[in-house]
Structure formats: structure tokens, C-alpha cells
Amino acid sequence: MRRPIMAGNWKMYKNARETAEFIERFKPLVSKMDGCEIVVFPAAINIPAAVAAAGDSNVGVGGQNIYWGKEGAFTGEISADMLHAAGAGWVLVGHSERRHTVCHEADADVLKKTQAALAAGLKPVVCVGERLEEHKAGKTGEVLVRQFAAGVAGLTEEQFAQIVIAYEPVWAIGTGQTATPEIASSAHQLIRSEAEKRFGTEAANRLRILYGGSVKPDNIDGLMRQPEIDGALVGGASLDPESFFKIVSVAAPAR
């Protein structure tokens, strides 16, 4: 049985005080939920505030990005070791907003960042997903195969066992246009079959694949009913403690 993960990506929202306030309000709501893992991804500058507020609760904290170098002249970047030393346990890698906006992250960067995260003891959530024009052109499979080949297939079996993948169709992010449970499920199946080809059936069956893209309290139930969907990576609807609590609640009963 794959343990679900319910994660909130806060993107460039909340300052340190708001980060701590959210966690103080959210912690008691989820304190008895042991049916899933819960993680929030605040802005890097707010990781220490988040870690302090989370304390020894069941709310994990992760960063939204790292650079793969150990240290050096990389102005503005933070390393995996720095993030880990600040108390983060997780990191997002290859989020579409970093691949497709001004950051222009390449598929190959994703592999280097994932390896750096693992070496530092962080759990990477590797994000993949197709853009609207690719979706419309029926190229979802092609894009996912390419992203998996460049970003994930180069890991060792041992490394692969420690990662999580998030399928986030770019056309569903921040648009209110969630992928249907069936669309999400078939993309997850495709990712799992790529994993199976490269890492074997057992490893593929253990891989947790999250869905992200306009997840809300009123659509999470249908998504989580799909056996292929092992949790959610939530943007906008994770910014409010009550709303994120409602989403987490759907996964919390032991499946």
C-alpha cells in the first residue's frame, strides 16, 4: 500500500509571520491524521520559521527549489545542504513554473537537482507535466516519456526508491481547470509504466505519484478515489489552513 502524501506548494506567497501563523493554526487540525504524510513548501526564506512552527508535529517542511552545486559563485541560489541544514526534509524539483517561466530549467537540470537533493538527505518531489499546446496536440505521453528519461531514468535504483513524482499538467495549474480523475490517472499509469521499464515492477509499484493542478476541497475526493493517484500537490487551495485541512482530510483515512 502506498502511503498518500498531501503537499502544499505556497509558491511566492506568505512572509515569515504568515508562514508561522498558518502552521500554528493548521497543526492542531491535522494532529491526529496519521493516514498520510503532510508537507508544506514555503518560500526558502521562510523555511526556518516554518520548521520552528512545525516543531515535532506531523507537518513536514520542504523547499521549492535548490541548485545542484555544493557551494560556489552562484548568486541567488541555495544548495541542497543549506536547505537540509535549515531543517527542511523535502524539496520540489522541476516545477513547471521553473521550467517554463523566466527560469528556463532544462530537463537535464532536473536530474542534477534530484541527485543533489538525495545526496543531502532531502526527499525530492520531481514535477512533470505537459503544456496546453502539447495537451491539445495529444502529446502528453511523449512529453512525460521525455521528462522521465531526462530527469529520472538516470537515477540509480537506490535513488529512485527515495523519490516522489508529481504529475502537474501545466494547463491545469492555477486555471481552475483540473484534469479529470481519468486524465490524471492515465498520465500516472504512463509514468508508472516508464518507471517499470527502467526500474522494474516492484520499484514502480512502490513509486508515489501525486497529482497537482487546481486541486480544491470539492474535487479532491474524485481524484483520490483513483488507485493510481497517491496524493496531491496543491497550490492556491493550500494557502488557507481550513481549505488545506479539508483536502488533507480526504486522504487521511487509511486506504
Q: How far is the CB of 204 from ligand 13P (least distance, A)?
A: 23
For ligand 13P, the closer CB: 89 or 154:
89
In 3D space, the residue among 207, 208, 187, 189 whose CA is nearest the CA of residue 199 turns out to be 207
Of 42, 63, 169, 236, the one binding ligand 13P by CB under 6 A: 236
- Contact stretch for ligand 13P (CB under 6 A) within 42-50, 132-140, 197-205, 209-217: 209-217
Residues 133-152, interacting with ligand 13P (CB under 6 A): none
Comparing CA positions, the residue from 248, 241, 249, 238 lying closest to residue 11 is 238
Cell of 87: 531543517
Using CB under 6 A as the binding criterion, the count of chain residues that bind ligand 13P stands at 14
User: Which residue carries 498520510 as its cell?
Assistant: 36
21-40 residues in contact with ligand 13P (CB under 6 A) are none
Closer Cβ to ligand 13P, 9 or 159, answer by number: 9
SS3 category, 128: strand
Q: Are residues 247 and 36 in contact, defined by beta-carbon separation less than 8 angstroms? A: no
**Per the residue annotation, which of 37, 84, 95, 134 is the catalytic one?**
95
For 31, counting Cβ atoms within 10 Å of its Cβ (0-12 exposed, 13-18 middle, 19+ buried), the class is: exposed
Reading the block at residue 35, the C-alpha cell is: 493516514
Helix (H, G, I), strand (E, B) or coil at 215: coil
104 is catalytic: no
Is residue 231 a contact point for ligand 13P (CB under 6 A)?
no
Measured CA angle at 102 (ends 184, 14), to 5 deg: 75
- Out of 130, 134, 168, 228, which one is annotated catalytic? 168
The contact mask relative to ligand 13P for 163-182 (x = CB under 6 A, - = no) is: -----x----xx--------
* 214 near ligand 13P (CB under 6 A): yes
Shortest CB 64 distance to ligand 13P, Å: 9
Q: Is residue 168 annotated as a catalytic residue, yes or no?
A: yes
Cα three-residue angle 215-217-221, rounded to 5 degrees: 85
Give whichever of 20 and 215 is closer to ligand 13P, judged by the CB atom.
215
Question: Which grid cell is 26?
Answer: 493548521
Residue 212 as a binder of ligand 13P (CB under 6 A): the answer is yes
Contacts of 157 (CB under 8 A, 6+ apart): 199, 200, 203
Which residues are known to be catalytic? Answer: 95, 168
Q: Which residues bind ligand 13P (CB under 6 A)?
A: 9, 95, 168, 173-174, 212-215, 233-237
